[in-house]
């Protein structure tokens, strides 16, 4: 039978950042390190780490923000890992999540999930407000029309003459949905 392992994952923002202090003094069998910013989705070592861990292992991470780019990402990762029987330990927060989660851990994870959803809706709201302000200032024009007025008229005429939507989409270099939008 295989021995369960304590596997570390660390992410440092830039090459000059020190990885030593992230899991300093923590006994680990193997460590994966990504050098990438939080918003960077390319984390090859995290992918390798997730591929490596097995049921019974413990994934040790310095802190929640080192594992995930945002709360949604964090929740997904913790759920996936604990679902595979891998414990997830966060050193800084002094939290361990296991598949047989205690009521407290389930509550914490649920609260994090609620915060993630709230954070996401706030971002979208600010984005919408920004677009409204930019439109009012004449800085936001939306997307450029796919066809000129002349092309749009030609498209409608050919559609009315019975040409297929697929053929028109191909001829004008637009999607079928765009053809339908112009037809409407």
pLDDT per residue as tens digits for the range 145-171: 888 889 999 999 999 999 999 999 999
Q: Does residue 73 surpass a pLDDT of 80? A: yes
pLDDT per residue as tens digits for the range 84-114: 999 999 888 888 888 766 777 778 877 876 7
* Residues 131, 101 contacting (CB under 8 angstroms): no
pLDDT at 35: 83
Q: Where does the pLDDT of residue 123 fall: very low under 50, low under 70, confident under 90, or very high at 90 and above?
A: confident
Q: Where does the pLDDT of residue 117 fall: very low under 50, low under 70, confident under 90, or very high at 90 and above?
A: confident
* Residues 107, 115 contacting (CB under 8 angstroms): no
Please tell me the distance from the alpha carbon of residue 67 to that of residue 148, in angstroms, as a whole number. 48
pLDDT per residue as tens digits for the range 9-60: 998 866 555 655 688 778 899 999 988 765 566 789 999 999 999 999 999 9
Instruction: Burial-class residue 94 by CB neighbours within 10 Å (0-12, 13-18, 19+).
Output: exposed
Mean pLDDT of 113-120: 74
Please tell me the distance from the alpha carbon of residue 184 to that of residue 176, in angstroms, as a whole number. 13
Q: What is the DSSP string of 102-158?
A: -HHHHHHHHHHHHHHHHHHHHHHHHHHHHHHHHHHTT----SPPSS-HHHHHHHHHH
Mean pLDDT of 124-145: 85
Residue 78, CA distances (Å) to 18, 74, 159 in order: 25, 6, 52
Q: Where does the pLDDT of residue 135 fall: very low under 50, low under 70, confident under 90, or very high at 90 and above?
A: confident
Catalytic residue positions? 13
* Residues 32, 9 contacting (CB under 8 angstroms): yes
Taking CB atoms within 8 Å and a gap of at least 24, the contacts of 174-178 are 174/146, 174/147, 178/146
Give the pTM: 0.58
Q: Which two tokens stand for residue 149?
A: 């007025």
């Amino acid at each position: 039978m295989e021995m369960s392992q304590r596997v570390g994952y660390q992410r440092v923002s830039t090459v000059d950042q020190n990885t030593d202090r992230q899991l300093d003094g923590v006994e680990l069998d193997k460590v994966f390190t990504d050098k990438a910013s939080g918003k960077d989705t390319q984390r090859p070592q995290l992918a390798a780490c997730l591929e490596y861990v097995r049921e019974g292992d413990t994934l040790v991470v310095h802190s929640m923000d080192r594992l995930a780019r945002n709360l949604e990402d964090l929740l997904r990762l913790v759920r996936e890992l604990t679902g595979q029987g891998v414990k997830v330990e966060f050193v800084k927060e002094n939290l361990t999540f296991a598949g047989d989660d205690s009521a407290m851990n389930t509550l914490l994870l649920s609260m994090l999930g609620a915060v993630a959803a709230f954070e996401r809706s706030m971002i979208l709201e600010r984005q919408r407000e920004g677009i409204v302000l930019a439109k009012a200032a004449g800085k936001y024009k939306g997307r450029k029309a796919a066809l000129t007025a002349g092309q749009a008229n030609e498209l409608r005429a050919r559609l009315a003459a019975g040409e297929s939507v697929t053929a028109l989409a191909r001829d004008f270099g637009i999607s079928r949905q765009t053809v339908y939008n112009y037809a409407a």
